[in-house]
Amino acid sequence: MFDFSNRLASRLAVLLTLALAPLGSIAIYSEFDAWRTQIQSFEASLLARTADAVAGQRGLLESAMLAIDRIIPLVVDRLDDPRACSNYLRDFIVESRFYAFAGFIRSDGNMDCLSSGDPIDFSESETFQAHLAEPRSFFSFQPTGAITGRPVVLVNRPVIVEDEMLGFLAISISRHSFDLIAADPDPETAPRLAYLVNHLGKTLTSAESARANEMLPVDESLREIVEMRNGVFRANSNAGIERTFTIAELIPGQLYALGSWSDEQVGKDSVFDMWRLGFPILMWIASVAVVMFAVNYMVVRHLKQINSQLRRFALGNRDEFQRLPDEAPTELREIDSTFSKMARLIRRDEMEREEALAEKTVLLKEVHHRVKNNLQLIASILNLQMRRVSDVQARAILVGIQARVRSLASIHRTLYEQERMNERYAADFFDRILNEFLVIGQVDTSKMLIERNFEAVALPHDKIIPAALLFSEALTNALKYAAPQNPDAPTKLKVCFSSKMGQAQLRVWNSLSVPVDAEGGSGLGQELMTAFALQIHGDIESGAVQDAEGHGWEMRLRLALDTSKGATAS
């Protein structure tokens, strides 16, 4: 599987993303800031339209507050004369035309100065006691006025003279006056419902129908809305439907305008459109796509061509490299040219090495061939000499020398006949030497049970010949002293060559009769085998053995192998 995180195109895409991140962040922030500015402008427009929807009622209430401020000194001057005070307030109501009632409630709860009606005692009223404990100007709505008996809005102002709380001066405005002064709302721009609300979250005008009441927020939400003073928010209405509401502060801490808007009026301006982020995202996708295409067209496809040719070259294909086209970048064409020159140099060096190796192989084969011929000539001379020697002991010595010379000749003939001189797998080598000995020694194989087990083990060049000579001496000794263990059994010969745990082991075993009729291993052959073992730094053990296979003579050679160079194969 490909590791896409390490590919050039993937890394460039990541780097380009990081490079475009500041621009993308700026673009996203700009879009979000523009949307936020748009929302703020839209909310300001809603608040302004909410305030405009109740502008007439607001003006009426503000005029009532100004009127109270104007008549307070005149009322205070007449408090000692309730009749005169009441006459003054009655004349004031008649002249104003918009106000329904005016009255002064003393701090003891007694209202005996009033524009109409009989005096009233509010001392037991919890509402009056609450306002007396925390005197402040406020507005309130009475569905049934205590004097007029009609729906009215009360404007209350505390009267304090020289830090003494005298009471409250109140002016009531009838609902009819509010309706007269209110303008017909524009159904397209004005809220579906607009109300005046006091600081307690109580509406100063009541809905004329249940349908209108359904568009108001629930009381809990209305109190939270008033605490915001100004803003646009979403809340559940009395009908249980989420609507958009606006609250605009008209008189700080006293009077607010509440607007209820339908979703059609608000539209989708209050919701951030995620598609507005489409441009920065499309810009990033287009940039990455262009870079990916450019990198693939200008770099990646040429690198793939170079890599494909290098891979074929590494696998042994020595065809000429196909050069990059002229439209390829100069740097890549220079790399391609360098690789082409390197490939030509490698091909030339390989050819020179092959020629040199072939020449050396021919020369080495020729050396082995000549050595073999010379050794065979020496063996023939020794054979002629033996015919002239009558002494039995001297003749035996010459026979032993002739056998060793023939063994050397057999080894060199084997090396000469080997197809590739750089291969030193001892298995075939030892097997051929064994076959040569069986032929040269004129052994009757029909009366001998020969077991051979040669594994494919490679020996270094400097160890193969001493090991072969040692093997020849061991075979000579084994064939010389081998005998059946009993008259009915055949003579046994076992030859094994194997590797285990980084060591090569050569084992030659032959059976002996009972009792042992030859010690084998005390003469020249044993000395030669020991010398050859020392030459190749091997450990040799030889002598008579008694094991599960019976009585016999065994030679065992252990030779360390260089496994780091792949010296063994199985």
Q: Is 316 helix (H, G, I), strand (E, B) or coil?
A: coil
**What's the pLDDT tens digit per position in 283-326?**
777 877 887 788 788 888 888 888 888 888 888 887 777 888 88
Q: Which residues of 500-513 are buried (b: 16+ CB within 10 A; e: fewer)?
A: eeebbbbbbbbbbb
Give percent of the chain above pLDDT 70: 87
**What's the pLDDT tens digit per position in 543-559?**
888 877 788 899 999 98
Query: What pLDDT band is residue 508 in, cutting at 50, 70 and 90?
Result: very high
Phi-psi group of 81: left, alpha or beta (phi > 0 → left; psi -120 to 50 → alpha; rest → beta): beta
Written as one letter, the residue type at 375 is L
Residues 452, 507 contacting (CB under 8 angstroms): no
**What's the pLDDT tens digit per position in 376-415?**
899 889 888 888 888 888 887 887 787 778 777 877 777 7
C-alpha dist (Å) from residue 197 to 45, 293, 425: 20, 65, 108
Ramachandran angles phi, psi of 95, nearest 5°: -70, -35
C-alpha dist (Å) from residue 266 to 47, 53, 230, 243, 470: 12, 16, 17, 10, 107
pLDDT of residue 494: 92
Most confident of 302-306, 487-491, 530-534: 530-534
CA–chain centroid gap for 121, Å, is 80
What's the 3-state SS for 536-564?
CCCEEEEEEEEECCEEEEEEEEEEECCHH
CA–chain centroid gap for 123, Å, is 77
Ramachandran angles phi, psi of 100, nearest 5°: -95, -30
Q: Which residues of 387-415 are buried (b: 16+ CB within 10 A; e: fewer)?
A: eeeeeeeeeeebeebbbbbbbbbbbbbbb
Residues 67, 88 contacting (CB under 8 angstroms): no
**What's the pLDDT tens digit per position in 123-171?**
888 888 888 888 888 888 777 766 666 778 888 889 888 888 888 998 8
CA dihedral over 43, 44, 50, 53, signed as positive or negative: negative
- Name the nearest CA neighbour of 244 among 221, 276, 223: 221
Q: What is the DSSP letter of 446?
A: G
Whether the bond into 515 is cis, omega within 30 of 0: yes
Kindly report which listed range (71-75, 240-244, 528-532) carries the lowest average pLDDT score: 240-244
Q: pTM of the full predicted structure?
A: 0.47
- Which tokens sit at 272? 């951030």
pLDDT at 109 over 80: yes
CA dihedral over 65, 71, 76, 78, signed as positive or negative: negative
pLDDT of residue 566: 46
Cα separation, 513 vs 552, whole angstroms: 8
Mean of the pLDDT values across residues 188-193? 71
Mean of the pLDDT values across residues 356-372? 84
Indicate the CATH number for domain 425-430+440-570: 3.30.565.10
CB atoms within 10 A of CB 491: 21
pLDDT at 519 over 50: no
pLDDT of residue 417: 74
pLDDT of residue 517: 47
**What's the pLDDT tens digit per position in 31-46?**
777 777 878 888 888 8
Cα separation, 418 vs 429, whole angstroms: 9
Written as one letter, the residue type at 374 is N
Distance separating the N- and C-terminal Cα atoms of the chain: 32
pLDDT of residue 10: 73
pLDDT at 467 over 80: yes
- Name the nearest CA neighbour of 232 among 250, 219, 244, 216: 244
pLDDT at 570 over 70: no
Phi-psi group of 135: left, alpha or beta (phi > 0 → left; psi -120 to 50 → alpha; rest → beta): beta
C-alpha dist (Å) from residue 127 to 186, 306, 324: 38, 95, 97
**For domain 56-177, is the CATH number 3.10.20.740?**
no
pLDDT of residue 248: 86
Most confident of 318-322, 432-436, 502-506: 502-506
Averaged confidence pLDDT in the chain: 80
**For domain 184-266, is the CATH number 1.10.274.30?**
no
DSSP assignment of 4-39? GGGSHHHHHHHHHHHHHHHHHHHHHHHHHHHHHHHH
Ramachandran angles phi, psi of 243, nearest 5°: -130, 170
Angle between helices 82-96 and 55-77 (to 10 degrees): 150
- Name the nearest CA neighbour of 175 among 145, 146, 202: 145
Mean of the pLDDT values across residues 467-484? 85
Query: What pLDDT band is residue 2 in, cutting at 50, 70 and 90?
Result: very low
**What's the pLDDT tens digit per position in 53-86?**
888 888 888 888 888 888 889 988 888 888 899 8
Q: Is 193 helix (H, G, I), strand (E, B) or coil?
A: strand
CA–chain centroid gap for 416, Å, is 63
Cα separation, 294 vs 291, whole angstroms: 5
